[in-house]
């Protein structure tokens, strides 16, 4: 029987919340930037990578380890 690793699952959810918070915070700053389109492209790439990593962490945590 495998046991879920709740620490990794929790960190994955926290990372998703932080990535979304970063995205929306930068969305509010973008209008005063010199190049808002490039800024949001970079922010979207970074947020997407962080969310992808967190989803992998959640899946690994749900699979768990052998007890």
CB proximity list for 64: less than 8 A, separation 6 or greater:
2, 3, 4, 5
pLDDT at 65: 87
User: From the first residue on, what is the mean pLDDT of each consecutive set of 10 residues in the chain (67 residues)?
Assistant: 93 98 96 94 97 97 89
Q: Cα separations (Å) of 7 from 10, 31, 33, 47, 64?
A: 5, 38, 38, 21, 11
Q: Which of 12, 16, 48 is nearest to 40 (CA)?
A: 48
Kindly report, residue by residue over 27-40, the tens digit of the pLDDT: 999 999 999 999 99
Q: Where are the domains of the chain?
A: 2-66
């Amino acid at each position: 029987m495998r046991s879920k690793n709740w620490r990794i699952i929790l960190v994955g959810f926290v990372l998703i919340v932080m990535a979304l918070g970063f995205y929306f915070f930068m969305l509010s700053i973008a209008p005063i930037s010199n190049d808002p389109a490039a800024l949001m492209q970079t922010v979207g790439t970074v947020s997407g990578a962080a969310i992808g990593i967190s989803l992998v962490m959640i899946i690994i945590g749900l699979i768990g380890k052998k007890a």
